[in-house]
Structure formats: C-alpha cells, structure tokens
Amino acid sequence: MITSILKTTAALLAVVISVAVTADRQPLLDSNTRFHPVISQKGMVVSQEMIASQVGADILAKGGNAVDAAVATGFALAVTLPRAGNIGGGGFMMVHLAEENKTIAIDYREMAPAEAFKGMFLNSEGDVDNRKARFSIQSSGVPGTVAGLVHAQENYGKLSLKQVLKPAINLARNGITVTLTLAESLAARSERLQSDAGTKKYFFKKDGADYQPGELIRQRDLAATLSRIAAKGAAGFYQGKTAALIVEQMERSGGLITRADLNNYVALERTPICGDYREHKVCAMPPPSSGGIHMVQMLNILEGWDLKALGHNSADYIHRLVESMRRAYADRSLYLGDADFFPVPIAQLTDKNYAATLRQQIDLDHASRSEDIRPGLVDNAESTETTHFSVWDQWGNVVSNTYTLNFSYGSGIAVEGAGFLLNNEMDDFSAKPGSPNGYGLVGGIANSIQPGKRPLSSMTPTIVFDASGAPILATGSPGGSTIITVVMQMVLNVLEFEMGIAEATAASRVHHQWLPDNVFYESGISADTLRLLHEMGHVVSDQPRRLGASESIESSADGVLFGAADLRRHGSGAVAQP
C-alpha cells in the first residue's frame, strides 16, 4: 500500500518536474549562486570607479568600440580616481580585435630617464634609500599612459580622440563630488601629500583642510592638460606646454626627466604571452610585465593535477597553488626584467616540460621552504594602488587594461601647472640585488636600473579564449606583487571551478611570492584549512588581508556579457551599455 502511494507520488512529481522543464527555460539571471553579476546583451565597462565606468558605457552607446570606451574610461579615471587613475604613470593594455581575430599587447610602461643609473637609489653606505626610491622626484619614470591610450585610440578606435577625452575634460573642469572613499583616502595621506606644493594645491583646500564628502573638487589645470592632449594627441603631452611644465618641475627639484626623455617615449606593441590551460587559451602581458610569463608558468604546473576534485580552497588545493607560486616568484627574481635589455628566457619559463619538472619537485603532503629554493628574507608593508578595467563591446572587441602610479598617489608629487601626479615606478626596479622593493619583491641584474629601460611589473591584464578561439573572459587586478596570483585564481575559478564571474570575484584568495615565505590569505579561508596548511609546514600569516580587486567581464557562448566589479574596493562599478 505504502509502496504504491510512494510510486504514484513519484510518478506525479516526475510529471510536474518534466512539465516545468519543458514549459520554462532557465531565466538568464536565475542561477544557483549567492553572487550576481551585471548583465548585458550589448557592451559593458567594469572599473574601480563608477563614474568612469559610466563614461565608458556612454561612449559605447554613442557607437564607440571597446577601445574608444577603454580610452575614455582611462582618462576619466585620471580625474575620478586620482590615487591610481593617471596620466603621470603607465601600464599595459590587452586588446582583442574581433574582426581581425587578433590580440595585441600595448606596453606603455614608464621608462627610466637617460640620466638614470644603476646605483641612483643607494646611500653612502651602499644601502637602498627607500625614501628616495619611492617618494622623491627621482622615483618617477617617464610617464607612458598618454602615449599608450592615444596609441590605442588612434590605431584601433572608431571615434575621435576629442570625443573620448571630452567626458574626462568635463569632469576635471566642472568638478567631481568628493565621495567618502576619496575624502578618507586623501585625509589618510594628508601629511605626505601636503608636503608637495602642487599636490597640496590640487587635492586639499586653500587653508590645507581636507575635502569633505559631498564637496566638489575642480581640477582646472588637469582639464587644460587633457584639452592639450585632445587637440594635439600625444604631442600635446610629450611636447609643448605640458612637457615644459614637467621639465620645469624636474629642474626645480632635482628630477632627471628631460625634454629628450619625453620626446623619445613611445608605447610599444608586443607579442602577448599565451598559454594553453586544458582546452582554453590564456593571454596576458609579456615583459616588462612578469604577469603573463608567471601566470602561464603556474597554470602549466597546476594543469597536471585534478584541481576540481580537490575542492576549491581546500588545503590540498591551496598547497598546490602555494608551491607553484613559490617556484614562479623565485624564477621571477632571477630571470625577469625588460626583455629589450636582458635576455628573458620566455620560452623556457613557459614550457610545459619545465612546468612538469617543477611539479615533480612538489611534495604533495609537505610545504617546501623558500630558503631551500633561494635564500633571503624580506618584509612587505607599503600601501599600494593600481587599477584595472575591462571593456567589451557589442561586436566582440575586448580590452583588458591595468595602469598605475605604483603607490597610492604615486610619488605624491604633482606637476605644478599641469595638475597631475607623477608615478614612483622607479621603485619597481631592483635598486640593489636582493633588496626588496615596496612589495617585498627582490631582483637582480635582469631588473637593474638602466637608461631607457622599463621597470619590471606584475600587472597582468588578461584575456581568455575558449577552444573555438572566441574570447570568454577579460580580467585583471591591482595589488603589486599579488596581482599575478590574484588574476590566476580568477582564471582558475572560472575555468576550473566553473564559477560565475561574480562568485569568482568574491571567492577568498591566497598569495605566496617565495619571499617572504608566508602564505597570505583572505578572510573566508576556514580555520580548519589554515590549520591543515600549518600542519603541512606552511608559514601562514597571522592575519587575513585583502588581495587585489579584479574588474572582470565574462561572455557566454551566446554572447551575453556578465560583469563583476570587485567589492573589495569601494566605488567600483560594472555598467552595461544603455
């Protein structure tokens, strides 16, 4: 009797379920996740600052392509996110052009001035003077952002440079409303920033008081500088009035950048580093970024294990991540630098057989010690800021861009009269073999200071392709030395663990960089997992910290875009093309 009731109920249920299955399709947004992305069937911009994302989305709506929108967003961030958005810094842009089916890597990293030299940051004892390397006028490399953005726009955009610069010029001229985030970020660094006359003038009130949330900051000198770029292209920055203002600033305070340095600066197109991860292709920046090489190297090592079966963020999974990271960052310290100056062994580092050798060295039950791989001990304490944005248009063109002043507000020195902050990217060189930079990264001859050389970077703007060659993911992150491992975990979360983009972004991250021999982790990694890692012999840091801030777009096979701004940073935003 009971059996027959159960059978009847089961049959009825089967009918109900099958009716539901046949009558309704799964609604697009109704997936089984706690985290929802922004969705679009046209284009999308995801950046660390909502107004700049909106600027980009509006450019898409005006018929601009992904490059137009990216350039507009990049210039807008220079106004709305002064701690990282910039025209006084540099970065990297990956562009995928749908029609040509071509992927381009634009290098607009800063360059050491002609008068720079190897020991320029050493004091009389031969030790690195960190203040000079990070906060002096000499800490600035020749800025590359304007050359990079203009190069991208002139070669691959559809609109005019004037059109894409207009929103940034208006924001600078008419003012932006100070958010709590901006007010706090400036106030926290008030003493350092106010020690420079230009920075004080541009980012604090006349009497030196902090701006309060809700007040307006107008950046008129910046608006004029941006207008000169709109009128004359890159020459409006590297020549003429802006160049004169930069050189005057250098001459007043002992900086090294000359007119010739500015004149000689060029953005370069380089061959992206692409690696296969199972059936996907992952493409990112080549040197002077270390990002592409080491992400591919780590993915090559990790590909040899069934990561999914281990479970996301299980101790066994994190152990494999950490051991791969440790080995990649050890190689980084020795082999990586600007490949125009040092023979970086790109093919060997990204070779699957080399990865297999490294994989075999990894004990699956016990942590190795970084000092057994390469000796040294460093600390890692500076506050930092870089910013990433991703753009996708209705035609399938994709931009993945990371740029930076290096630290928050760069050197803290603004070009007086021109309204923008200068980077402190010279600290990304290895000022002395074995001495850590602001991210605890060590290096040697490969990344030593030389005139015209570009400092080694970790920035990893990335585009991932499916087996058919179609782009499916654009991602990237700030975070100094942690960028490469953060971006790699984004890629693994999407490809290996099949997370939606918002969940992949929210998932807790870990980081290891060989030296210091420390597993850094975010809140959300369970105490049990940390205990297991400790029992394996890992040195787990005593507190969680925040790792990166990815701004990503994923495309489904039918072309629907899913965007996720990283909630680790206030004010970030994914904006769909209206």
CA atoms of 245 and 258, how far apart (whole Å): 11
**Under the criterion CB under 6 A, does residue 483 sit at the interface with ligand DON?**
yes
Closer by beta carbon to ligand DON, 275 or else 443: 443
Closer by beta carbon to ligand DON, 149 or else 483: 483
Q: Closest approach of Cβ 336 to ligand DON, in Å?
A: 11
**Under the criterion CB under 6 A, does residue 566 sit at the interface with ligand DON?**
no
Closer by beta carbon to ligand DON, 103 or else 437: 437
Q: Closest approach of Cβ 62 to ligand DON, in Å?
A: 31
Residue with tokens 């597993």: 519
The piece of 212-220, 230-238, 335-343, 452-460 that touches ligand DON (CB under 6 A) is 452-460
Closest CA to 486 of 378, 310, 325: 325
Largest CA distance in the chain: 97
CA atoms of 463 and 95, how far apart (whole Å): 8
Closer by beta carbon to ligand DON, 113 or else 478: 478
Q: Tokens at residue 492, please?
A: 């693994």
Closest CA to 217 of 185, 265, 250: 185
Closest CA to 275 of 375, 376, 351, 178: 351
Closest CA to 539 of 566, 507, 515: 515
Closer by beta carbon to ligand DON, 384 or else 572: 384
- Taking CB under 6 A as the criterion, the residue among 370, 404, 475, 572 binding ligand DON is 404
**Under the criterion CB under 6 A, does residue 384 sit at the interface with ligand DON?**
yes
Closer by beta carbon to ligand DON, 441 or else 533: 441
Closest CA to 502 of 461, 551, 460: 551
**Under the criterion CB under 6 A, does residue 168 sit at the interface with ligand DON?**
no
**Under the criterion CB under 6 A, does residue 449 sit at the interface with ligand DON?**
no
Binding mask 295-334 for ligand DON (x = CB under 6 A): ----------------------------------------
Closer by beta carbon to ligand DON, 40 or else 48: 48
- Taking CB under 6 A as the criterion, the residue among 40, 300, 447, 458 binding ligand DON is 458
The piece of 169-177, 187-195, 292-300, 456-464 that touches ligand DON (CB under 6 A) is 456-464
Q: Closest approach of Cβ 9 to ligand DON, in Å?
A: 58
For residue 42, the SS3 value is coil
402 as an active site residue: the answer is no
Closer by beta carbon to ligand DON, 479 or else 571: 479
Q: Closest approach of Cβ 460 to ligand DON, in Å?
A: 9
Under rule CB under 6 A, which residues in 463-482 are in contact with ligand DON?
478-480
Q: Closest approach of Cβ 98 to ligand DON, in Å?
A: 29
Phi-psi region of 440 (alpha: psi -120 to 50; beta: other; left: phi over 0): left
**Under the criterion CB under 6 A, does residue 385 sit at the interface with ligand DON?**
yes
Q: Are strands 420-421 and 216-217 parallel, antiparallel or unpaired?
A: unpaired
Number of residues interacting with ligand DON: please give it, by CB under 6 A.
Answer: 14
Q: Closest approach of Cβ 134 to ligand DON, in Å?
A: 11
Closer by beta carbon to ligand DON, 416 or else 566: 566
Please report, for residues 83, 88, 123, 285, 549, the alpha-carbon distance to residue 401 in angstroms, rounded to integers and kept in the order given. 16, 16, 36, 10, 13
Q: Closest approach of Cβ 71 to ligand DON, in Å?
A: 20
For residue 92, the SS3 value is strand
| Annotated active-site residue in 145, 386, 402, 529 | 386
The piece of 278-286, 301-309, 384-392, 514-522 that touches ligand DON (CB under 6 A) is 384-392
Under rule CB under 6 A, which residues in 497-526 are in contact with ligand DON?
none
**Under the criterion CB under 6 A, does residue 136 sit at the interface with ligand DON?**
no
Closest CA to 509 of 520, 496, 494: 520
Closer by beta carbon to ligand DON, 59 or else 81: 81
Enumerate the β-bridge partners of residue 549: none
The piece of 4-12, 304-312, 453-461, 466-474 that touches ligand DON (CB under 6 A) is 453-461
Asked, as a colleague might, if the bond just before 143 is cis with ω within 30 of 0, I would say: no
Q: Tokens at residue 552, please?
A: 């990503």
- Taking CB under 6 A as the criterion, the residue among 459, 490, 507, 576 binding ligand DON is 459
76, with CB counted inside 10 A (0-12, 13-18, 19+), is: buried
Please report, for residues 129, 377, 379, 546, the alpha-carbon distance to residue 292 in angstroms, rounded to integers and kept in the order given. 30, 26, 25, 22
- Taking CB under 6 A as the criterion, the residue among 406, 513, 550, 577 binding ligand DON is 406
For residue 195, the SS3 value is coil
Asked, as a colleague might, if the bond just before 286 is cis with ω within 30 of 0, I would say: no
Q: Closest approach of Cβ 12 to ligand DON, in Å?
A: 58
Please report, for residues 51, 179, 290, 509, the alpha-carbon distance to residue 484 in angstroms, rounded to integers and kept in the order given. 27, 30, 8, 12
Q: Closest approach of Cβ 459 to ligand DON, in Å?
A: 5
Residue-wise DSSP of 417-470: TTTEEPP-GGGGS-SSTT---TTS----GGG---TT----B----EEEE-TTS-
CA atoms of 347 and 296, how far apart (whole Å): 11
Binding mask 416-435 for ligand DON (x = CB under 6 A): ---------x--x-------
Positions that interact with ligand DON (CB under 6 A) = 384-386, 404, 406, 425, 428, 457-459, 478-480, 483
Supply the residues annotated as catalytic.
Answer: 386
